[in-house]
Structure formats: structure tokens, C-alpha cells
Amino acid sequence: MVIGVGNPYRRDDGVGPAVVDRLRGAGLSGVTLAESDGEACALMLLWHGRRLAIVVDAVRAEPPCPGRVHRLVVPWPAPPGRSAGTHATGPADAVALARALARLPQRLVVYGVEAADTGFGPGLSPSVASAADRLAALIIGEARAAGRAGTRA
């Protein structure tokens, strides 16, 4: 399962769905592709019961380096204790709740791509588009390796 998180109408925030788009023609068998706005419950439903789930989302980092890809494998450091409003819930909340409910996939990998521009409109900035190409190729390799190992992704 590969889940692209983000809004394609907010430039680089759409890098998750853009990676999923690049995977559609890759002939990956046994791999489900999905897009999500990142809402915690929806993410849990998507990845529940999977042996491997890969989530791709846009991130910001300081100092910034647009197009840089971060790879996190759950478990990562504990999420904040205070629950935010519904507008601020996202993958970290989904992981925390899924862990409490035993709804995490057997293996969860999150790729965060540093965004340059999250303004209005479609299309990725050049450095992020290039990162999406590289990341798609990486995920194809990861999914095929998981397939060879007999893992339902």
C-alpha cells in the first residue's frame, strides 16, 4: 500500500499524490495506491491490516532544502501529548491512535519531501518534481523487494 498525502492544488503539498501518479504506470502488482488528505481516521483505515504501508507527504524543515527526502520508519519519537483541533491532525496523530488501537501496519515507512512552495495552484516546483521522480523509482524498488519477500504491500 502506497498512500500519497497532500493537496494537489497547493503546489508542492501535492508531492504525495504526484508520487502516486508516477507509480500508476509502473506495473506494480499486488500494491494498492491511494491518495489522502491526511485525515487520521482515513489513514488508519487505509493501512490497517497491511504488512507494508508507505506514506509520502510534504514536509518543512529548518534549515530548508527543497526536494530533500526524509525517511522515517515507525516507531518514531512519541507524538505531542496535547491533541490538536481537527485541522491540525495528521499522520503523526494517525500513528499514535493506530498504535493505541493496534491498527498499525506491520511495517510503516514515511517519506517526507521538503516543499518549496505551498501556494495556490497545481504543479510542483522543479526541485520537488525531481524528488518525486527519484522517490517513485525508490518506492518501486522497495515494493518489488517486498513482493519478492512474499509481503503483501
Partner 1 sequence: MTHRHDRALHVAALARVEGEGAMHVQVDGDVVTDVRLDIYEPPRFFEAFLVGRGHHEPPDITARICGICPVAYQLSACLAIEDACGTPVSEPVAELRRLLYCGEWVASHALHVYLLHAPDFLGYPNVVELARDHRAAVERGLALKQAGNAILELVGGRPIHPVNVRVGGFHRAPSPPELRALARDVLRPALDHALATAEWVAGFTFPDFTIDHELLALVDPVDPQRYPIDRGAPRTSAGRSFAVAEFEQHIVETQVPHSTALHGRLAGAGTYLTGPLARYSLNHARLSPLARQAAAAAGLGERCDNPFRSIVVRAVEMVYALDEALRLVEAYEPPDPPYEEAVPRAATGWGATEAPRGTLFHRYRLDADGTIATARIVPPTAQNQPAIEADLRRFVQDRLGLDDGRLTTECEHAIRNYDPCISCATHFLDLTVERR
Could you list the residues that contact partner 1 (CB under 8 A)?
Answer: 37, 39, 41-42, 44-45, 79, 81-87, 93, 96-97, 100-102
Query: At closest approach, how far in Å is the CB of 41 from partner 1?
Result: 6
Rank residues 27 and 81 by Cβ distance to partner 1 and give the closer one: 81
Query: At closest approach, how far in Å is the CB of 102 from partner 1?
Result: 8
Rank residues 23 and 97 by Cβ distance to partner 1 and give the closer one: 97
Q: Which residues contact 126 (CB under 8 A, 6 or more apart)?
A: none
**40, 96 contact by CB (below 8 A):** no
Query: At closest approach, how far in Å is the CB of 104 from partner 1?
Result: 13
Rank residues 82 and 148 by Cβ distance to partner 1 and give the closer one: 82
CA distances, 152 to each of 11, 25, 37, 92, 113 (Å): 32, 19, 24, 24, 25
Query: At closest approach, how far in Å is the CB of 89 from partner 1?
Result: 8
Rank residues 48 and 144 by Cβ distance to partner 1 and give the closer one: 48
Query: At closest approach, how far in Å is the CB of 92 from partner 1?
Result: 10
CA distances, 135 to each of 21, 40, 66, 77, 113 (Å): 12, 23, 14, 24, 9
Rank residues 102 and 149 by Cβ distance to partner 1 and give the closer one: 102
